[in-house]
Each structure stands twice: as structure tokens, then as C-alpha cells.
């Protein structure tokens, strides 16, 4: 029996949200290999300075540097703001990043970020094809 389109879409939304939640956990654990497991080999990551990192080697170098330089107590809350399906296997995902304390309280006065992900469905997983990170202001 064929699954309904809405049911598939609901499952895709849940899977994308789970992937973003996992990225947050991986970020807090400073697990570069874990972060890389969510990217396509040919992905593009554009950092907060607008520097494009193309391909897994460049993204790995940027992610490693970022996690090494991040303060020990740096933590972010990742909130999915919107998911728009471009095609059944491609989604544009907007995520807000709020800096938080280790207790989960939002840090007032700190930079707030927003990411635009373009994710593609690869086999059973949603992978990052493009990730653009932007600082959008302060709380």
C-alpha cells in the first residue's frame, strides 16, 4: 500500500527536525566527524563572514577551526523556524541560533544567528547540500 503524500511529508519534516536537533547536540559535543556526517560530499558551507567552503575537505577545515576557537562554555539553541519543500527530495530549512547558558537560559546581549540550509534526501537521510550562517543581531 502506498503511503499518503501528507504522511510522507510529515515524516520528512520530523526527520529534518531530528537532523537539526542532532546537529545542535553534535555542536555542543564539539564532534567534527559528527557534523561532517550530515553533509553531502559536494556541499557548500558559507560562514558568518561570507566565506564559502566548498566540498568536504574545506568544510572539515572550517568546522574544525570554528570548534577549536569557540569558547569552552559556548552553547547554542537551534530552533527550526521554517521548512519549505522545493521538491519532494529538496527542502529549504531556516534555523535560528540563540546563545544559551549551560542551563539552557538565553544569553541577552549576545549575537543571534540564523542559518539557511538546503537539504537533500539521500537514501534514508536528509543531508546538508548548502548551509549559510548569518548573524542577524543581538538579543
For residue 3, the model assigns a pLDDT of 43
How many CB atoms are located within 10 Å of the residue 8 CB?
12
**Using CB atoms within 10 A of its CB, is residue 35 exposed (0-12), middle (13-18) or buried (19+)?**
buried
For residue 2, the model assigns a pLDDT of 44
* Domain CATH for 34: 3.10.450.50
> How many domains does the structure of the chain reveal?
1
Q: In what order do the strands lie in the sheet with 52-54?
A: 52-54, 39-46, 125-138, 111-122, 90-99, 76-87
Q: Is the overall model pTM greater than 0.75, yes or no?
A: yes
How would you write the pLDDT of the chain (139 residues) with one tens digit per residue? 344 566 668 999 999 999 999 999 998 888 999 999 999 999 999 998 899 999 999 999 999 988 777 767 678 899 999 999 999 999 999 999 998 887 888 888 888 899 999 999 998 899 999 999 998 988 7
Domain that includes residue 40, residue range: 5-138
For residue 33, the model assigns a pLDDT of 94
Amino acid at each position: 500500500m502506498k503511503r499518503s503524500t501528507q504522511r510522507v511529508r510529515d515524516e520528512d519534516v520530523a526527520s529534518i527536525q531530528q537532523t537539526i536537533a542532532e546537529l545542535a547536540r553534535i555542536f555542543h559535543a564539539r564532534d567534527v566527524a559528527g557534523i561532517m556526517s550530515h553533509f553531502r560530499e559536494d556541499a557548500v558551507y558559507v560562514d558568518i563572514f561570507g566565506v564559502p567552503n566548498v566540498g568536504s575537505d574545506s568544510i572539515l577545515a572550517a568546522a574544525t577551526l570554528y570548534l577549536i576557537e569557540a569558547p569552552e562554555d559556548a552553547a547554542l539553541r537551534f530552533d527550526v523556524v521554517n521548512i519549505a519543500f522545493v521538491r519532494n527530495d529538496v527542502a529549504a530549512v531556516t534555523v535560528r541560533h540563540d546563545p544559551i547558558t549551560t542551563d539552557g537560559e538565553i544569553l541577552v546581549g549576545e549575537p543571534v544567528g540564523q542559518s539557511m540550509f538546503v537539504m537533500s534526501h539521500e537514501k534514508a537521510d536528509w543531508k546538508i547540500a548548502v548551509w549559510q550562517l548569518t548573524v542577524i543581531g543581538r538579543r
